[in-house]
């Protein structure tokens, strides 16, 4: 049976969506770093395509989702000729009360509301569908423009609720065990498209910052490499942590990276969020096969950057994510290599438990060559780490019945690389894909 996602391949998105040619004036600069050849195509690591800056629809109005507190204050003062504190009122209406119509912002005067109507808008991502899992996990497919959509996932747990947020349409990297990588890459998301995911989920949950907080954590672990979209991601995380935004503590916002070494250093200079690193192997030969970015930034460079980050944030640990794949990286020798590597990290930071490991059993997707280890192998690997004194919980699989588990997010991507077409050919060769590219049993 086809996934509901497959039915959205050619689904027109709701609302009046401009063409990509009309999308894009981008007054906020995007940080540029070196290009990285990760899959045979040269992808600029942090330079977004023209359509990936501040989203300005055909009407030319500024989307207030794109602006953090300081930028919104500047907008009120410089564009609207209003007092800066008025920006605070509007932020609360948007992020606390989920109001997007200026006419409903009743503590604003009529003149100010008219100015806002003329110069601004509050444009959230378009919900194509949302789907609950039997375990309480919830997934949204959100339209970014006429041809692209991304996925965001909310995972409830005891005393906490975590939202997994995407940073790119597809992913510029090509990690071999990740479903998102098979979709290829189109562009970076704007700040509005990133924080808009939080807004959609928080509104759905009835989240009230500082009172009925149902959304307690945000992890930048969805589609894309966040550090390749540095400025927009940092700005969105600022809104997440702002009391006028979602009021999350620094430690409750986590950025996960595959290892963009220069940008880890830059992140340490401008933000205090928690850092997670997609490690998955403790030797360069294997990690380069699994995470091609490792060829440019090998493990020694990556770990040095993590040490620098941890030293800047005294008392803060770094989480290392390790996806366990049967017969690939789940053997005792791999566990011992991991212990040795992370002990060196602890010693360099001079802090016990500076490194934490998050063990993630592989979540299968159609066409993958990787398999999930059995429970015995998973627990044996964990025991070796625990016996060495390491904190190494096994992440419980959540949302796999709706393809919302870690590594399963896909969305709808107008690929600018060759990866999506190549993966579809592989699926067809295995009898797992229709000629039109949809996944499912050809005989169904």
Residue 367, φ and ψ in degrees, nearest 5: 90, -10
Strand partners, 152: 140
Structure confidence at residue 316 (pLDDT):
86
The region of weakest confidence among 47-51, 68-72, 211-215, 264-268 is 47-51
Selecting from 1.10.150.530, 3.50.50.60, 2.30.30.230, 3.40.50.620, what CATH number does the domain 58-122 have?
A: 1.10.150.530
> Tens digit of pLDDT for each residue in 288-319?
999 999 999 999 999 999 999 999 988 789 99
25: left (phi over 0), alpha (psi -120 to 50) or beta: beta
Whose CA is closest to 378, among 323, 341, 333? 323
Q: Which two tokens stand for residue 294?
A: 């490792």
Is it the case that residue 39 has pLDDT exceeding 90? no
Structure confidence at residue 410 (pLDDT):
56
Task: Kindly give the residue spans of alpha helices, DSSP state H, lying in 206-359.
Answer: 230-241, 261-270, 284-290, 299-312, 332-349
Structure confidence at residue 365 (pLDDT):
83
In the chain, ranges of CATH 3.20.20.70 domains: 126-429
- How big is the chain by its Cα radius of gyration, in Å? 22
Q: What is the pTM (predicted TM-score) of this model?
A: 0.83
- Rounded alpha-carbon distances, angstroms, from residue 3 to 9, 353, 372, 412: 11, 41, 21, 13
Q: Which residue has the higher pLDDT, 261 or 426?
A: 261
Structure confidence at residue 17 (pLDDT):
34
Residue corresponding to tokens 């063990």: 359
Is it the case that residue 231 has pLDDT exceeding 50? yes
d(CA 204, CA 209): 14
d(CA 213, CA 96): 11
- Residue 406 catalytic? yes
d(CA 270, CA 73): 20
Is it the case that residue 420 has pLDDT exceeding 70? yes
Structure confidence at residue 71 (pLDDT):
98
Q: Which residue has the higher pLDDT, 58 or 223?
A: 223
Structure confidence at residue 399 (pLDDT):
54
Side-chain half-sphere CA neighbours of 50 within 13 A: 7
d(CA 363, CA 326): 11
User: What mean pLDDT is reported for the chain?
Assistant: 83
Is it the case that residue 282 has pLDDT exceeding 70? yes
Known binding residues: 171, 175, 178, 224-225, 256, 278-280, 363
- Return the DSSP state at 250: G
Are 217 and 201 contacting, i.e. CB atoms less than 8 angstroms apart?
no
Are 95 and 77 contacting, i.e. CB atoms less than 8 angstroms apart?
no
Task: Kindly give the residue spans of alpha helices, DSSP state H, lying in 191-298.
Answer: 191-205, 230-241, 261-270, 284-290
Whose CA is closest to 144, among 122, 179, 168? 168
- Return the DSSP state at 98: -
Structure confidence at residue 222 (pLDDT):
93
Residue corresponding to tokens 């008219």: 114
Mean pLDDT of 188-215: 90
In the chain, ranges of CATH 1.10.150.530 domains: 58-122
Whose CA is closest to 316, among 359, 255, 360, 259? 255
Structure confidence at residue 423 (pLDDT):
67
Structure confidence at residue 155 (pLDDT):
93
- Rounded alpha-carbon distances, angstroms, from residue 84 to 4, 70, 77, 87, 277: 45, 9, 6, 6, 38
Torsion of CA 256, 257, 262, 265, to 10 degrees: 20
d(CA 122, CA 63): 5
d(CA 258, CA 260): 6
d(CA 357, CA 344): 14
Structure confidence at residue 180 (pLDDT):
82
Structure confidence at residue 432 (pLDDT):
61
Is it the case that residue 414 has pLDDT exceeding 60? yes
Catalytic residue (choose from 82, 306, 321, 406) = 406
Is it the case that residue 72 has pLDDT exceeding 50? yes
Mean pLDDT of 23-34: 33
Catalytic residue (choose from 82, 151, 193, 321) = 151
CATH class of the structural domain 126-429 = alpha beta
Structure confidence at residue 392 (pLDDT):
95
Known binding residues for [4Fe-4S] cluster: 171, 175, 178
Per-residue DSSP letters for 42-81?
EEESS---GGGSS---TT--EEGGG--HHHHHHIIIIIS-
> Tens digit of pLDDT for each residue in 120-136?
999 999 999 888 888 88
* Buried/exposed 135-153: b ≥16 CB within 10 Å, e otherwise: eebbbbbbbbbebbbbbbb
Which H or E run contains 86? helix 85-95
Known binding residues for S-adenosyl-L-methionine: 224-225, 256, 278-280, 363
d(CA 245, CA 199): 10
Which H or E run contains 21? helix 20-23
The region of weakest confidence among 35-49, 141-155, 200-214 is 35-49
Percent of the chain with pLDDT over 70: 80
Which H or E run contains 153? strand 149-157
- Residue 82 catalytic? no
> Tens digit of pLDDT for each residue in 356-408?
999 999 988 888 899 999 999 999 999 999 999 999 999 876 555 555 545 44
Mean pLDDT of 324-349: 97
């Amino acid at each position: 049976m086809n996934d509901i996602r497959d039915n959205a391949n050619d689904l027109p998105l709701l609302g009046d969506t401009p063409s990509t040619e009309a999308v894009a004036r981008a007054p906020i600069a995007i940080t540029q770093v070196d290009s990285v050849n990760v899959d045979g195509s040269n992808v600029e690591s942090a330079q977004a395509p023209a359509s990936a800056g501040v989203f300005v629809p055909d009407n030319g109005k500024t989307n207030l989702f794109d602006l953090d507190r300081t930028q919104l204050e500047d907008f009120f003062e410089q564009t609207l000729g209003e007092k800066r504190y008025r920006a605070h009122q509007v932020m609360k209406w948007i992020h606390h009360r989920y109001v997007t119509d200026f006419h409903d912002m009743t503590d604003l005067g009529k003149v100010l509301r008219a100015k806002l109507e003329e110069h601004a808008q509050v444009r959230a991502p378009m919900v194509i569908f949302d789907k609950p899992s039997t375990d309480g996990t919830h997934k949204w497919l959100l339209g970014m423009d006429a041809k692209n959509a991304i996925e965001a996932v909310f995972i409830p747990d005891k005393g906490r609720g975590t939202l997994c947020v995407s940073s790119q349409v597809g992913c510029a990297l090509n990690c071999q065990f990740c479903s998102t990588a098979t979709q290829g890459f189109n562009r970076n998301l704007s700040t509005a498209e990133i924080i808009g995911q939080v807004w959609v989920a928080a509104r759905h949950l009835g989240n009230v910052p500082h009172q009925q907080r149902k959304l307690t954590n945000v992890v930048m672990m969805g589609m894309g490499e966040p550090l390749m979209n540095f400025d927009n991601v940092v700005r969105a995380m600022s809104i997440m942590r702002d009391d006028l935004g979602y009021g999350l503590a620094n430690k409750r916002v986590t950025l996960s990276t595959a290892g963009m070494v220069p940008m880890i250093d830059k992140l340490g200079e401008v933000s205090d969020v928690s850092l997670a690193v997609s490690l998955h192997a403790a030797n360069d030969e294997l990690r380069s096969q699994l995470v091609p970015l490792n060829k440019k930034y090998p493990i020694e460079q990556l770990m040095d950057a993590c040490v620098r980050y941890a030293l800047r944030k005294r008392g803060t640990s770094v989480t290392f994510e390790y996806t366990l794949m049967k017969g690939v990286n789940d053997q005792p020798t791999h566990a011992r290599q991991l212990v040795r590597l992370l002990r060196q990290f602890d010693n360099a930071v001079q802090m016990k438990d500076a490194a934490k490991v998050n063990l993630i059993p592989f979540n299968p997707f159609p066409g993958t060559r990787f398999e999930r280890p059995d429970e015995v192998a998973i627990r044996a690997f964990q025991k070796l780490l625990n016996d060495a004194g390491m904190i190494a919980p096994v992440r419980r699989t959540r949302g796999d019945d709706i393809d919302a588990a870690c590594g399963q997010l896909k969305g709808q991507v107008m690929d600018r690389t060759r990866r999506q077409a190549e993966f579809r050919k592989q699926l067809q060769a295995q009898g797992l894909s229709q000629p039109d590219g949809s996944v499912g049993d050809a005989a169904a």
